[in-house]
């Protein structure tokens, strides 16, 4: 029998040749993403203690309702940074509660923790919020940023994440592609194992 070929999601990590001003904006976006995660986690705990049923959607709605008045500086960066951070928090809680059903020795997900600058230097981009043109990427509130090389994957772009790795900024682009559209064996790509 012929096996049906399902699409796969691959990630291509590309170094960015960002200017000093663009790097400063990246750091601001990372700070907003980190703050939104911590805000969401504190609100989740508060809602739980008050007998309410928290969810990522409720937290995101509350964040959007208060950010203009309470955290206006968060509007200086792409909305993806804070929005995806709160959605990621919801995923972390879902993973934690799902793992609780497993035997103790097999659990991997832990209760979400507050993030610090030391262990989190990245922010997400939704696929309708950025554009790739050859060897450059347009990021909201940042503009066009030079990439070290063009995207080597063909298919539907699902999203991206900008992160600092060592002393350099990178963008990891997730692309849904058919198995026969994958790079040749001598090409190297990164596979994001966090994507299901």
- Of the candidates 177, 32, 190, 34, the residue with the CA atom closest to the CA atom of residue 114: 34
Helix, strand, coil percentages (3-state) for the chain, rounded to 5, are 40, 25, 35
Strands 168-177 and 156-165: antiparallel
The pLDDT, as a whole number, for residue 103 is 83
The pLDDT, as a whole number, for residue 73 is 97
* pLDDT tens across the length of the chain (196 residues): 445 567 899 999 999 999 999 999 999 999 999 999 999 999 999 999 999 999 999 999 999 999 999 999 999 999 999 999 999 999 999 999 888 888 887 878 889 999 998 877 899 999 999 999 999 999 999 999 999 999 999 999 999 999 999 889 999 999 998 876 555 555 555 555 555 4
Q: How many helices (H) and strands (E) does the chain have?
A: 3, 7
Q: CA 141 to CA 134: how far, in whole Å?
A: 20
The pLDDT, as a whole number, for residue 182 is 56
| 65 membership: H or E segment, kind and range | helix 56-70
> pTM for the whole thing?
0.84
The pLDDT, as a whole number, for residue 137 is 98
The pLDDT, as a whole number, for residue 1 is 40
């Amino acid at each position: 029998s012929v096996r049906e070929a399902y699409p796969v999601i691959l990630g291509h990590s590309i170094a960015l040749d960002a200017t000093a001003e663009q790097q400063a904006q990246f750091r601001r976006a990372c700070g907003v993403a980190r703050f939104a995660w911590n805000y969401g986690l504190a609100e989740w705990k508060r809602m739980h203690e008050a007998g309410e049923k928290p969810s990522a959607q409720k937290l995101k709605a509350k964040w959007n309702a208060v950010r203009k008045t309470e955290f206006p500086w968060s509007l200086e960066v792409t909305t993806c940074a804070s929005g995806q951070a709160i959605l990621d928090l919801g995923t972390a809680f879902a993973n934690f509660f799902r793992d609780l059903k497993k035997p103790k020795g097999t659990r991997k997900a832990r209760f979400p923790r507050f993030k610090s600058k030391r262990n989190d230097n990245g922010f997400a981009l939704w696929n309708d919020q950025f554009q790739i043109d050859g060897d450059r990427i347009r990021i909201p509130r940042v503009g066009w940023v030079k990439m070290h090389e063009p995207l080597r994957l063909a298919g539907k772009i699902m999203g991206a994440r900008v992160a600092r790795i060592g002393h350099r900024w990178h963008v990891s682009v997730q692309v849904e592609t058919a198995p026969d559209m994958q790079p040749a064996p001598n090409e190297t790509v990164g596979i994001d194992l966090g994507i299901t």
